[in-house]
Amino acid sequence: MHAVILAGGKGVRLRPYTTAFPKPLVPIGNEYAILDIVLRQLRLHGFRSITLAIGHLGSLIRAFVGDGSKWGLEVTYCEEDTPLGTIGPLFGFLEYLPEHFLVMNGDVLTDLNYGDFMRAHTRSGAPLSVATYRRDVKIDFGVLETSGQRIVSFTEKPTLSYSVSMGIYALSRKTLEPYPIGQPFGFDQLVLDLLSQQTLPAAYEFNGYWLDIGRPDDYDEANRVFDQLKPRLLPDQLLQVVGD
């Protein structure tokens, strides 16, 4: 199995932590970079080859990961000269990818079994599978529904529940073949295209641990709970992957 890790962003929302480090290399628990954890997990779940899409401070990622042999992986690189979005970088090396492959952001902490996710995608026959997570949003106000100038319903400080993307996708190569190389293209555009074509993506519902480290508050939370989460994120067999 093959995974593409998107690691080219500037991490603007996570500044000042990303001033000197690309976001996938910021340390968690003073022991591991986020990318280190992700690579260990992918190796355990059956992945053997990785493409790292890099851009901002990409040389630091190359220096850290190298050829991937530390993790028992074969790692290649695709470097962006200009930002191409979430999906755009894939167009340039699509011919080298297997029929089905994983795509994920390089700043995700989760105990998702990536191998099970890929197998579910392959069985589904869907053009795209999206790992999804249930997120509750607390509204701190009374919510009114109106019709004309009349209030027709009222809910005091409701909690709304949404199914959100985890930033982890499984794709089939033929899904991306119609698109030209070199154009910026986002995950949102791909989903809207598929919906307009009535070629519906699949949802893979997940209820374990997931945190998208996109903001300083998220990063602080990850470090605060890391000692408790470490047995889930890095069980003993994961530590053995690279001989710890």
Note the pLDDT tens digit of each residue in 135-176: 888 999 999 999 988 999 999 999 999 999 999 999 999 999
Distance CA 109, CA 101 (A): 19
Note the pLDDT tens digit of each residue in 69-82: 999 999 999 888 77
Q: How many CA atoms lie within 13 A of 149 on its CB side?
A: 0
Res. 18 pLDDT band, cuts 50 70 90? low
Residue 242 has what pLDDT?
A: 57
Q: What is the DSSP string of 174-187?
A: HHHTTSPTT----H
The amino acid that residue 179 corresponds to is: Y
pLDDT at 34 over 80: yes
Domains of the chain, first to last: 2-137+164-242 (3.90.550.10)
Backbone phi and psi for residue 152, each to the nearest 5 degrees, phi listed first: -110, -15
Res. 200 pLDDT band, cuts 50 70 90? very high
Res. 129 pLDDT band, cuts 50 70 90? very high
Q: What is the residue-averaged pLDDT of the chain?
A: 87
